[in-house]
Amino acid sequence: MLIPATRLKILNDAPVNLEKDYVLYWMTTARRTRDNFALQHALNLCREYNKPLLVFEALRFDHRWASDRVASYIIDGMRSNSVNFEKAHVAYYPYIEPIKDAAKGLLAALADSAVHMVTDHFPSYFLSRMVQASASKVSARLDLVDGNGLCPLDYAPRTFQTAYSFRRFLQQNMSPFLDEFPDPQPLQHTRFTNRAQVSARIQETWPAARLSSVDTRCNDALMPNGLRYQIGRVDERGGEKAALDRWQRFLKERSDKYDTDRNHPSKTGTSRMSALLHFGHISSHRLVRDLLSSANWTIDDASRINKGSRAGWWNLSPAIEGYLDQIITWRELGYVFCHRNPTDYFKYESLPPWARETLSVHASDPREFTYDLDTLDKAATHDELWNAAQRQLTSEGYIHNYLRMLWGKKIIEWSASPQDAFAYVVELNNRYALDGRNPNSWSGICWTFGRFDRPWGPERPIFGKIRFMSSANTARKLKVKDYIAQYGQLERQDRLPGLE
């Protein structure tokens, strides 16, 4: 099954050389074997050229928010992929960079024996730049595949300022994409008679990670040296198998209560899929397909709603419609924003003009409390609910969504300037959150400062027209006693470098 043309871009004009040995899939974002457009495309090329497939998945550690937490989660995923590719008789080359710059030259060396290469598109962090830079250095044709969401990123014609306007665009334009899901199990439709071989020189210079050589519960022996942050691994496991298991549990046990339970931090009312989605261990197509088929939904069930309203779009229960709105509208709104604004989506200056203006008018308002990054990082503020959220972030790599909004808003209130606040939220979110460094990170962070929102009255000190949230109101609304009891007193044991 061919992948949709809107998802494919050729990144260089290197030749396709049929004398070479294999098709190379450089797996950077969609780190999974199912529901993966890029893998599907690579397998199609294998069939076309009658060549075997080599899958190359690497772990780099020289990026700004590299940590043992992130590395361990990625290694979980590599283990899962290694098992699945082995079952399918596909050659898989997992590489963990042991020291800085050790990986230099590896991709180009693998590309030298490739007929054609395929890689993933990801519109944030360093990945897009890394892929673009590699395109001119490799000797094989490089195809970029966008498997990020239901709406291909190039199809959205512009940036949307609100979820409402994006939802309306989706309601009017999305029906063709509901027929264009990736093959759920592309490896099942492939029979390889021979395996791709990696040359002895490459294996000696850049040895593949020996994923089966250490205990599956502990990735320490595989960890690269010199990671920027040692912040502690979390109990939550990454990888395709963990993702599918977690998702099935949510689908069976909690998806029908999502609308009523999602805002209660002590209940496990949300799916906790965000980190697994971020590392590509599962695809959003999979989530949407399962939800729609669990409700026996067919395209004829789509209502004719196309005015941007959330309720009634799918003609399904409020719980399922609520989840679809998060995983499609809210998630893809941020992906489109990053894709369309690649040079500034992460900057304070990319906030809407009205938001910057009102924050600037109130920048010198007196603050009752001001905290620096270190105090925030240590969860040492006067506010026990905020401290509990910060401790959940540092210990579990996660904060419940509603509290995450409050967490961000309070940092605005307690920082010396809105620009400081922005830098602190970015640093803490992306350093500790497993799902950090994602387009959704920038949606959530920037939403706190007014992106995808509207001006609110009455105008308040510090916030101006930016939406305000108070801990006292949140505590009343959410019944947070159990939450504070759970996260209020956790000990910290990590090393904490300061803000750059």
Ligand X SMILES: Cc1cc2nc3c(=O)[nH]c(=O)nc-3n(C[C@H](O)[C@H](O)[C@H](O)COP(=O)(O)OP(=O)(O)OC[C@H]3O[C@@H](n4cnc5c(N)ncnc54)[C@H](O)[C@@H]3O)c2cc1C
- The binding site for ligand X (CB under 6 A) comprises 262, 270-274, 277-278, 326-327, 330-331, 334, 401, 404-405, 408, 429, 433, 435-436, 438, 440-441, 443-445, 447-448
> Among residues 38 and 324, whose Cβ is nearest to ligand X?
324
Structural contact between residues 399 and 393, judged by C-beta atoms closer than 8 angstroms? yes
> Among residues 12 and 448, whose Cβ is nearest to ligand X?
448
Other C-beta atoms lying within 10 Å of the C-beta of residue 194: 11
> Among residues 395 and 438, whose Cβ is nearest to ligand X?
438
> Among residues 40 and 441, whose Cβ is nearest to ligand X?
441
Residue 362: which region, alpha, beta or left (left: phi > 0; alpha: psi -120 to 50)? Answer: alpha
> Among residues 197 and 417, whose Cβ is nearest to ligand X?
417
Closest approach, Cβ 318 to ligand X, in A, equals 14
Closest approach, Cβ 147 to ligand X, in A, equals 15
Cα separation, 294 vs 181, whole angstroms: 16
> Among residues 33 and 440, whose Cβ is nearest to ligand X?
440
Cα separation, 400 vs 419, whole angstroms: 25
Cα separation, 59 vs 172, whole angstroms: 40
The DSSP-derived string for 394-453 is HHHS---HHHHHHHHHHHHHHSSSHHHHHHHHHHHHHHH-TT-SSHHHHHHHHHHTTTTS
Closest approach, Cβ 126 to ligand X, in A, equals 16
Buried residues in 129-145 as b, exposed as e (16+ CB within 10 A): eebeebbeebbbbbbbb
Cα separation, 397 vs 275, whole angstroms: 9
Cα separation, 284 vs 487, whole angstroms: 30
Closest approach, Cβ 365 to ligand X, in A, equals 22
Structural contact between residues 243 and 401, judged by C-beta atoms closer than 8 angstroms? no
The DSSP-derived string for 51-114 is --EEEEEEE---STT-BHHHHHHHHHHHHHHHHHHHHTT-EEEEEE--STTTTTTHHHHHHTTE
Residue 286: which region, alpha, beta or left (left: phi > 0; alpha: psi -120 to 50)? Answer: alpha
> Among residues 195 and 467, whose Cβ is nearest to ligand X?
467
> Among residues 112 and 261, whose Cβ is nearest to ligand X?
261
> Among residues 56 and 449, whose Cβ is nearest to ligand X?
449
> Among residues 237 and 272, whose Cβ is nearest to ligand X?
272
To which residue do tokens 């599907």 refer?
40
Q: DSSP strand E in 231-389: where?
A: none
Closest approach, Cβ 57 to ligand X, in A, equals 21
> Among residues 52 and 436, whose Cβ is nearest to ligand X?
436
Please, which residues have CB within 8 angstroms of residue 158's CB and are 6 or more apart in sequence? 340
CA within 13 Å, CB half, 488: 11
> Among residues 25 and 337, whose Cβ is nearest to ligand X?
337
Closest approach, Cβ 274 to ligand X, in A, equals 3
Closest approach, Cβ 396 to ligand X, in A, equals 12
Cα separation, 376 vs 102, whole angstroms: 35
Strand-by-strand arrangement of the 53-59 sheet: 8-10, 141-145, 114-120, 22-27, 53-59, 91-96
Other C-beta atoms lying within 10 Å of the C-beta of residue 206: 21
Closest approach, Cβ 19 to ligand X, in A, equals 43
Closest approach, Cβ 437 to ligand X, in A, equals 7
Cα separation, 217 vs 323, whole angstroms: 32
Structural contact between residues 123 and 342, judged by C-beta atoms closer than 8 angstroms? yes
Closest approach, Cβ 410 to ligand X, in A, equals 10
Q: Which residue is nearest to ligand X (CB)?
A: 444
Closest approach, Cβ 125 to ligand X, in A, equals 11
Closest approach, Cβ 304 to ligand X, in A, equals 25
